[in-house]
A and B are shown apart, each in its own frame.
Chain A
Amino acid sequence: MTTTAHTEEKILFTQGNIACAEGALYAGCNFFGGYPITPSTEVAEHMAEELPRRNGAFIQMEDEIASLGAVIGAALAGAKAMTATSGPGFSLMQELIGYACIAEVPCVIVNVMRGGPSTGLPTSPAQSDLLQAKWGTHGDHPTIALVPSSVEEMFTETVRAFNLSEYFRTPVIVLGDEIIGHMREKFRVPRSGEIEVIDRKVPDGDGICRLPYRADGKHPACLPNFGTSRFHVTGLNHDESGFPTMDPSIVQDSNARILDKVYHQRELIDKVDMRYCEDAEILFVSVGSAARAAEEVVEEYRRKGVKAGLFRPITLWPFPKKEFIPCAERAKTIVVPEMNLGQLRTVVERFARSEKILPVNLVSGEPLDPDFIVATIEKSKR
């Protein structure tokens, strides 16, 4: 199964969820398994429309666990595979996210976030899963999560998610939110080749590989796709041959390796949008749609001569601490606007004294707007 990924340059005026699906297709996604859930469903609907036209496979599974299971199975058979969901469905996927981590299966999981816990506010925006994306599945595992804040970034970050997942052989999470998913903006879809598309490395030569989980140093393992080598894939701890082992030193090393392969190559993953951070005394740290409001406040402050800056991690996990620490040290105040009750703040607190930090939290189901941020700042001064 191959997809025709020849894309002409085109200008689209569309919503983030469609941009996300277009980004997946640009990256060569040829398998989608999903289950409908607001506010992510348009991703699945667009893939259902497009994939069969491009020789790719679309399937609506019976639930989100099955969706991610099918995605992982397809990826092992050689497909570039993706699923898309929202809060409750993301909760259901957690066990298999861990499976993809330990079995080192590339796949992309899009979570267009909504309120929670439980059914929460299905049609309203929130940024409720920033921490679930990192800690949702049990056990130590690497996490790569990208947070777009515009329709165009839903496209580009989905392409990047595929690239990172293929390169590192690990699941990559795209955290959209209801605003970014449903908002319409104009953006230019690049021609094929304009953005690099990375495909997983498979063993060279005749493709026969007896040690699919052998990885030298920081490099990811290099599994063949099913059909050659007749190897074994398991969610049990395994040795380089892929077979289960309880040998303490192998277990210790392989558990560490799947983290190290990601965290030792941060330069390939880190991505931050920094505005006026060089001299910012009041630093805003924000992601996704909340960062759009923060950006407006920063511009307004700058016009008034206030030294404000924006630190917007586009790669949220791993958190870009190298870039963040100097900005945090310079700033007198760090404002953290987010549509939850302090998830991003828990990260900021690791790098900055808590007296400096001013949380701005909105969980009412309304979009976080610049006035709310300014009002919260003003109130804190009183």
Chain B
Amino acid sequence: MFDYSAYLRNEKLPHIWCPGCGHGIILKSLIRAIAKTGWDKDDIVLVSGIGCASRLPGYVDCNTLHTAHGRALAFATGVKLAKPKFHVIVVSGDGDALAIGGNHFIHACRRNIDISLIIFNNGIYGMTGGQYSPTTPQGDKAATAPHGHIEPDFDVAALAKGAGATFVARGTSYHVPQLDDYIYQAFMHKGFSVVEVVEACYTTHGRKQKTKYKSNLDMMKWQKDRAVPLAKSREMKPEELAGKFVTGILHEVERPEYADRYAGLVTSLKGGDK
């Protein structure tokens, strides 16, 4: 049995998350991935914004920084650049990372700074009670879309890749062993890595879809039925993929990392002109 207590602030439990929430599944996956790295807990800085997902760092025994809504990546960038030896991990809800934090998200991708971002994509604003987010499915009901959501959603992985992230993976809270691996690979990757985790909030989102989901289990089934592994997706026609999403390590390239580049700049100036 894996010993989670070595990585948890056990006295801070129970956590604040509702029954049926996917956040706890991701927390355990994250802890297993951290354990696999063998990193010293003193060298890990876990940063978050505001939201249900962002309460996660409070439960983990490392350096933890709970910032302001949307700003986790900005804080994390400062931490990493000031002390590049730290392993910096950011956890963020879909609203936190992609709405209020969207600008920081694309620029962190572009800089390719060595930070791993785990996006807890439950397709809704959980903490504030189920208002629509940039990833709420069209047609769903939300607290601020009582007549059905009319906006299109982001393809988070495509956005990350387009903005320059050098590692992009997508998993779900249903496919847990795969998720462990994506998060671990993201940690091992040098550069900006993004893991989008498709998961669900039954309390504020599922319950509002009267016919679609009868319980949080139906939301897990939704993930199971919609997820198409990358290899399989390559054999499928676009019309077969409609309404589904592709999972796996979707993008992985090498490109100079930001803090390394900065260190290179500092070295190049040593004993130079002035």
Contact indicator A227/B43 (Cβ below 8 Å): yes
Binds A, one of B25-33, B62-70, B130-138: B62-70
Within 8 A of B (CB), among A39-80: 52-53, 55, 57, 59, 61-63, 65-79
Give bound CA distance, A178 to B5, whole Å: 56
A176 contacts the other chain (Cβ, under 8 Å)?
Answer: no
Given contacts A62-B104, A71-B78, A226-B63, contact A77 B83 (CB under 8 A): yes
Contact indicator A81/B274 (Cβ below 8 Å): no
What is the minimal beta-carbon distance from B219 to any residue of chain A, in angstroms? 28
Contact indicator B269/A52 (Cβ below 8 Å): yes
Q: Which residues of B contact A228 (CB under 8 A)?
A: 42
Give bound CA distance, A66 to B79, whole Å: 12
Interface of A is mostly: mixed
Q: Which residues of B contact A57 (CB under 8 A)?
A: 81-82, 262
Q: Which of A61, A74, A243 is close to B58, meaning CB atoms less than 8 Å apart?
A: A243
How many residues in A have their beta carbons less than 8 Å from beta carbons of B? 43
Within 8 A of B (CB), among A230-281: 230-236, 243-244
Give bound CA distance, A57 to B269, whole Å: 13
Contact indicator A66/B77 (Cβ below 8 Å): yes
Q: Which residues of B contact A74 (CB under 8 A)?
A: 78-79, 81-82
Contact indicator A69/B75 (Cβ below 8 Å): yes
Q: Which residues of B contact A66 (CB under 8 A)?
A: 71, 73-74, 77, 103-104, 107
How many residues in B have their beta carbons less than 8 Å from beta carbons of A? 38
Given contacts A52-B269, A228-B42, A234-B66, contact A70 B12 (CB under 8 A): no
A31 contacts the other chain (Cβ, under 8 Å)?
Answer: yes
Q: Which of B42, B57, B78, B83 is close to A70, meaning CB atoms less than 8 Å apart?
A: B78
Closest residue of chain A to B12 (Cβ to Cβ) is A243
Q: Which of A65, A72, A235, A244 is close to B78, meaning CB atoms less than 8 Å apart?
A: A72
Within 8 A of A (CB), among B88-126: 103-104, 107
Q: Which 10 A-B pairs have the closest CB atoms?
A: A69-B74, A73-B78, A70-B78, A73-B75, A74-B82, A74-B78, A66-B74, A234-B66, A77-B82, A73-B79
Given pairs A66-B74, A81-B82, A243-B58, 20 additional interface contacts (CB within 8 A):
A66-B77, A69-B74, A69-B77, A70-B74, A70-B78, A73-B47, A73-B75, A73-B77, A74-B79, A74-B81, A77-B78, A77-B83, A78-B82, A226-B83, A226-B86, A227-B83, A230-B42, A230-B62, A230-B63, A232-B57
Chain A interface residues (CB < 8 Å from chain B): 1, 30-31, 33, 52-53, 55, 57, 59, 61-63, 65-79, 81, 95-96, 99, 226-228, 230-236, 243-244
